Chain A
Amino acid sequence: MLTTKLLATTAVAAGALALVIANAPASAGDPLKIGISASISGEWAPYTGAHGLRCMTELMNEQGGVNGVPIELSVQDNKSDPAIAIAQAQEMLDDGVTAVGEAAIASDSLIPVSQLAAEYDTITFSAVNTQIEMFEVGLDNYITMAVPDPFNASATAEVAYELGARRVVLFLSDVYGTWTRNLPEWFGDVFGRFGGEVVGRMEYPGFGITDWSPFITDLKAMDPMPDSIHISSINPDVGVLIRQIRAAGLDIFVFGSDGFDDPTLPEVAGGAPSVDGTVYFATHGFATGGNALEMFQNECVSRGYEINGSFFGLGGDVAQILAKGVELAGSTDSRAVLDALTTAGPIEATSAPSIDFTNRWHYPSKEVSVIGFKDGQPMLHKALVPAHSPHYEE
């Protein structure tokens, strides 16, 4: 049974990839060279797309690679340190990669990497970066696979209102730029358009908070009490926050962003009673019901990979999308690949049915998955294209 399932999974994954490869020029050409300076360790390690990129590259190379030539993938650990990331990216660019990326995930390293790559006329990619900064600094060589923050916030707000939340407190910080400050505000903006109300804002100092009790005491003292909070931060911080909120006897909704998308979150948060029916977050995809992401993840698990939430699938998207770009461009020339991707329309992907880069900012337009919990396990609550898109509205 297991063997049959494995074969079927492999066949489907191979089939999806075969479409890419079959249309590629038959003659052997230059290899698609991808360089990724990734947060394999350090504070951003739970959110790297590198493992998924590795697995997808492995799968594609088993099917003949791109243009009949195996993809050359170089992965280096930057320990979540922007300075190391930039140095590693420089090395990769000197090696003549078609695309260089991920860096230390945040825009503070991706922007300089993109600027460096621009001098080489090379694509900079991120599997997981969601920040609007990347689309606003005038870079024309950047693509990302992840749902941009305004859409993440908008999808969560829509679901929050549907679930019955009406009074929210926003947790804000400057620690990670727009992701920790603007994303909750966009949530509040859209929540307000549906009829909800932002009844308070709380500033937290940054990452690594182990004791949220002063904030929780403030929450408890509010009159009227909020029925929900929204925070865009990382695990274990958000897990600790949820656990301490429950320990304080507050049965309110906790809404969040893709920082919640870590398999260890429910356990850190205190298990099923702390998260079931009360914790929801928007992220980049969800493996379920035999979708492409589930098949990809299952295949990778059978090869010994550990799945780190939807970020694994985003890493797979990178290889898949770049390969499609090479196919469309008929070349591994970085500029030609980028032009092809940004004019192609919806492109089949792993984390979502499709990704479309044709908008004027070239952000990835895709379905947003809102995740809830049942019996302490994440489950897809709703996949949606948000009705509102704050920040990007004209």
Chain B
Amino acid sequence: MQYVAEQALNALSIGAEYSLLALGLAIVFSVMGLVNFAHGEFLGVGGYIMYAMALFGAGDIWMILPVCLLTVVITAVLLERVAFRPVRRAPATTGLLTAFGVAIILQNVFLMGVSPRPKAVPAVAVLNTTVDIGSFTFTILQFLEAGVTAIAIVLLVVFMRRTKLGLAMRAAAHDFTTVRLMGVRANRVIATAFAISGFLAGLAAIFFIARRGAIDPFMGLLPVLKAFVACVLGGFGSLPGAVVGGLVLGILEVVLIILLPDFLAGLRDAAVFFIIGAILVGRPQGILGKKAELGDKTA
């Protein structure tokens, strides 16, 4: 029983992390059709700012957390203004290349500005403290990750449904041109999408660093790939799809760790992608993606 409960929470917290990242990726894609592969480097920005603060003696966790979130949000908005806005009307592939370029530049900034080697960031390690509930042992981080992700999703839903800007973003996801014809300022909508994306990445960075305890210049690469897979699985552009995709991916990974026998364990990643492939064969638009019919406006 304890084993099942612990593995269930493991799956939930890993899935929640993927969901947070996927949601950040999806919100930008839904508004401007950009797959922002630099999203992983937002994690790096969060990690390196935590490292810098601890290095300069500002190691108090209550100071580190808001500064981390704020820095990642500012970075995301700044990058939208400097790197992505100039190529907004360019073909999608240009945006994709820009995202890769921004990612590489940020990696090199970390690499040359700090070190090519991993650096320890114990500042938020306190989140890894274990708690005993009955005969079960969990870490605070696992509850926080699942809980904060759930709260962030609820707040995002409220924002999208109850505010004018949220409404504009939802409408922009369907038809940006019409939204602009209604007098909505495109720059504001897109900058808000990047700010939200940065906020979600900042949250993910806190959990990521709390668990990992270290930064390195390429730490964002694997998470953004997982987030991308989660987005595709859930239905690219669909925000609920990103959440569901992240959770399914996390649960799949943990279930296969548990179920695959030793002699097949080396095929775990292949099995994960086989299952994802099977889901996409049945639902090519992703789990919650909307099927586009011939003649539908898709972007």
Q: Does B111 interact with chain A (Cβ within 8 Å)?
A: yes
Residues of B within 8 A of A (CB): 2-3, 6-7, 10-11, 13-14, 17, 111, 116-120, 122, 125, 128-130, 137, 139, 142, 208, 211-214, 216-219, 221-223, 253-254, 257-258, 262, 265-266, 268-269
Residue of B nearest to A41 (CB): B116
Q: Is the CB of B213 within 8 A of A239?
A: yes
Closest-CB distance, A332 to chain B (whole angstroms): 32
Q: Are B128 and A262 in contact (CB under 8 A)?
A: no
Q: Which of A212-220, A323-331, A380-388 contacts B (4 or more CB under 8 A)?
A: A212-220
Instruction: Tell whether, in the assembled complex, residue A268 and residue B214 are in contact, meaning their CB atoms are under 8 Å apart.
Output: yes
Nearest CB on B from A178, distance (A): 14
**Neighbour of B122 across the interface among A42, A208, A235, A267, CB < 8 A:** A267
Cβ-defined contact, B118 with A268, below 8 A: yes
A131 to chain B: which residues have CB within 8 Å? none
A283 interfacial by beta-carbon distance below 8 Å:
no
CB of A203 within 8 A of CB of B268, answer yes
Given contacts A201-B262, A247-B128, A270-B213, contact A46 B208 (CB under 8 A): no
- When distances are taken between beta carbons in the complex, the residues of chain B under 8 Å from A45 are 116-117
Contact B137 A249 (CB under 8 A): yes
In the complex, how many angstroms separate the beta carbon of B212 from the nearest chain A beta carbon? 4
Residues of A within 8 A of B258 (CB): 214, 218
Alpha-carbon distance between A262 and B130 when the two chains are bound, in angstroms: 27
* A-B contact sample (5 more), CB < 8 A, given A40-B116, A264-B214: A211-B13, A220-B6, A240-B211, A244-B128, A248-B139
Measured CB to CB, the residues of A under 8 A from B are 40-43, 45-46, 173-174, 201-203, 205-206, 208, 210-211, 213-215, 217-218, 220-221, 235-236, 239-240, 243-244, 247-249, 262, 264, 267-271, 308
B118 touches A46 (CB 8 A): yes
Shortest CB–CB separation between residue B286 and chain A, in angstroms?
23
A111 vs chain B, min Cβ distance (A): 22
A105 to chain B, nearest CB (A): 13
Chain B residue contacts of A206, Cβ below 8 A: 269
- Assembled-state Cα–Cα distance A45/B119 (Å): 12
Check A43 against B218 for contact (C-beta < 8 Å).
Answer: yes
Contacts A240-B212, A268-B214; A247 near B10 (Cβ below 8 A): no
Given contacts A214-B7, A218-B258, A236-B214, contact A205 B116 (CB under 8 A): no
Contacts of B122 in A (CB 8 A): 267, 270-271
Which residues of the other chain, B, contact A210 by a CB distance below 8 angstroms? 208, 211-212, 223
List chain A residues, Cβ under 8 A from B2. Answer: 221
Chain A residues with CB under 8 Å of B11's CB are 214
Instruction: Please state if B254 and A264 are interface contacts (CB–CB under 8 Å).
Output: no
CA distance A348 to B221 in the complex (A): 43
Known: A42-B218, A205-B268. A236 touches B3 (CB 8 A): no
Residue numbers in B under 8 Å from A43 (CB-CB): 216, 218
Chain A's closest residue to B209 (CB) is A210
B223: nearest chain-A partner, CB-CB? A210
Q: Note all chain A residues with C-beta closer than 8 A to B125.
A: 243, 270
- Evaluate contact between A203 and B130: CB separation under 8 angstroms: no
**Which of B117, B129, B212, B269 has a CB less than 8 Å from the CB of A46?**
B117
- Determine whether the beta carbon of A42 is less than 8 Å from that of B214: no
Measured CB to CB, the nearest residue on chain B to A208 is: B222
Most buried by B among A214, A215, A221, A262: A214
In the bound complex, residues from chain B placing their C-beta under 8 Å from that of A205 are 268-269
CB distance from B131 to the nearest CB of A (A): 11
Query: Is there an interface contact between B120 and A268, defined as CB atoms closer than 8 Å?
Result: yes
B117 in contact with A262 (CB, 8 Å): yes
Q: Are B212 and A236 in contact (CB under 8 A)?
A: yes
Nearest chain A residue, comparing its CB with the CB of B6: A217
